[in-house]
Chain A
Amino acid sequence: MQDQALFEYVLRLADDSLILGQRLGEWCGHGPILEEDIALTNISLDLIGQAISLYDLASELEGAGKNHDQLAYLRFENEYKNVLLVEQPNGDFAMTILRQFFFDAFRLPLYEALMQSPVAQLAAIAAKSVKETRYHLKHTSEWVIRMGDGTDESHERAQAAIDHLWRYTSELFFEDNIDEQLQERQLVPSLKGIQANWMETVKAVLSEATLTIPTNNWKFEGGRQGRHSEHMGYILADLQYMQRAYPNMEW
């Protein structure tokens, strides 16, 4: 292993993108309007694209000769390091949009900060992804506001999604010795600053949407250490199906 800590860090980013992209892919053909079918598929495509670049970097850092597909497809459940938020089921459109909004509001300032990283490849991936993420956040913010300030039903659905997903948001800012190590080496930003930025975005958008932040501060964590929710096994059953059923083949 050439750089274990940085490898783990990049793997977390990659797994977040992959699993959320995988979830969004489930919407294809089932969106509430044609325009949203296009938008959700497009966000999914961006996330899969980011995952490819991130896994490429991770595999270089690992130095074990694995390609991006081997990293993405051939690990066991507890080796995936994505946050629990991104593996939560799509639910209704409100749940999908709020999940995406919470994630985008975290990813945008993170990528902005990572653009300054001395790890050149990571900075380059961040620079490319930041443009995509800015669009995603704009899109999801607009929908949160539309739903919150739309009809009684849309308001209720949006609030229910917030109340449900809130418990998964603190994990976005989870830090352990991997982060501390890399922050000491000044390769990655502190997530505390990102969290403040995130909270500002969330407050502004929810307030315009006439939606409220839950008072429940109960936190669900574990994804970053490979402890997932029950949903994860099913996601991997789909994701890995071909690679597991037809091992060692090229597609």
Chain B
Amino acid sequence: MTQAEQERRFLDKIDREIKIEPNDWMPDEYRQTLIRQISQHAHSEIVGMLPEGNWITRAPNLRRKAVLLAKVQDEAGHGLYLYSATETLGADREQLMDDMHSGKAKYSSIFNYPALTWADIGTIGWLVDGAAIMNQVALCRTSYGPYARAMVKICKEESFHQRQGYESLMKLCNGTPQQKAMAQDAMNRFWWPALMMFGPSDAESTHSDQSIKWKIKRFTNDELRQSFVDATVSQAEILGLTIPDPNLKWNEERGHYDFSEINWEEFWQVVKGNGPCNKERIAARLKAKQEGLWVREAANAFAKKRAMKKSA
């Protein structure tokens, strides 16, 4: 079969909503786009463990400690099967992680913001997992089979995390004035970074067009961002929290909320590595890699020894 025929068959499958599977022919650029996007997602899960993990030892009661442990464990699990999905495309987990450490590969910028108070943990669950779900529900129908199937499982767990986060904030907002103020402070700090999670505006997004055509992405960044704002406003009202945007108001004509322009300078600064915690996050991941090297070597050496014993 000629390359042109293969490409025609590939596009035909995309058109007919037939999933592309690991052994199917696919354009090299499709493969690279998927590896980039899935690994970026995997890195986000792994780096995302750090701001939340930092509160495990200080969780205010045993139930919250257990819930947080379970959540962070879920995130490690998401990372694991997303890396596995990249391996079905011929990528190597270690190499992908090295690309993140060197700054070549990105992860979600939201995790470059610090988790300063206990309210941040609830807010991360509500807004950050909420924004992630907006992106990920759309990805359950993405054209690459292993990615789509991973997203189905991930979405179920993420929506559980979002509800837990919201419930935790509910406690604070119905608690003492001190607790309520803690929640509002977290809202003030996380609202804009959460909106930035949807990426650059459609006009600025370099990868969007082709990804939409290949049905890797099903909605544009701006469409998803708008859906998130529309869904979140009433949730904030129920909590009694103020969204830190004086221009936020319902637009009858559009049938959507209007909101202020994102501070794109801050967005690009954080993407480029100048966010409040970029250096700390990468340093923590590098440290884990370096300090774990002897453990991985030991496991490999042991496996080899046992294999030799078996064959002897």
| Residues of chain A whose beta carbon lies under 8 Å from any beta carbon of chain B | 18, 22, 25-26, 28-38, 41-42, 44-45, 48-49, 51-52, 55, 68-69, 72-73, 92-93, 145-147, 149-151, 153-154, 157, 238-239, 241-243, 246, 249-251
Assess whether A34 is in contact with B46, with CB atoms less than 8 Å apart. yes
Residues of A within 8 A of B298 (CB): 146-147, 150-151, 153-154
Pick out which of these stretches binds chain A: B21-29, B69-77, B102-110, B202-210. Answer: B69-77
Residues of B within 8 A of A26 (CB): 56-57
| Residue of B with least CB distance to A157 | B294
User: For this complex, into which size category does the number of interface residues on chain B fall?
Assistant: 35 or more
* Contact digits for B274-298, partner A, Cβ 8 Å, 1 yes 0 no: 0000000000100110011111111
Cβ 8 A contact of B288, one of A31, A69, A157 = A31
Task: Assess whether B305 is interfacial by the CB under 8 Å rule.
Answer: yes
| A42–B171 alpha-carbon span in the complex (Å) | 26
Given A45-B70, A150-B302: A238 touches B64 (CB 8 Å cut-off): no
- Mostly, the A contact residues are helix
A149 to B302, CA, bound (A): 6
Q: A34-B79, A73-B61, A239-B58 are in contact. List 5 more A-B contacts (CB 8 A).
A: A25-B65, A28-B69, A69-B63, A154-B295, A251-B168
Q: Does B83 contact A (CB under 8 A)?
A: yes
* Residue pair B175, A249 in contact (C-beta under 8 Å): yes
Q: How many A-B residue pairs have CB under 8 A?
A: 139
Instruction: Check if A48 sits within 8 Å of B69, measured CB to CB.
Output: yes
Q: Contact check: which of A38, A153, A238, A250 meets B294 at CB < 8 Å? A: A153
Task: With CB as the reference atom, state the residue of chain A lying closest to B66.
Answer: A48
Evaluate whether A45 and B73 lie within 8 angstroms (CB atoms) in the complex, with A146-B299, A149-B302 already known: yes
10 residue pairs A–B, Cβ–Cβ below 8 Å: A29-B53, A29-B284, A32-B293, A33-B299, A45-B73, A72-B61, A151-B294, A242-B60, A249-B60, A251-B172
**8 Å CB contact of B297 from A49, A69, A72, A150:** A150
CB of A212 to closest CB in B, whole Å: 18
B247 contacts the other chain (CB 8 A): no
**B59 interface contact, C-beta 8 A:** yes
Whether the Cβ atoms of B171 and A238 lie closer than 8 Å is no
B72 touches A28 (CB 8 A): yes
B305: A residues at CB distance < 8 A: 149
Q: In the bound complex, do residue A49 and residue B61 qualify as a contact, i.e. CB atoms below 8 Å apart?
A: no
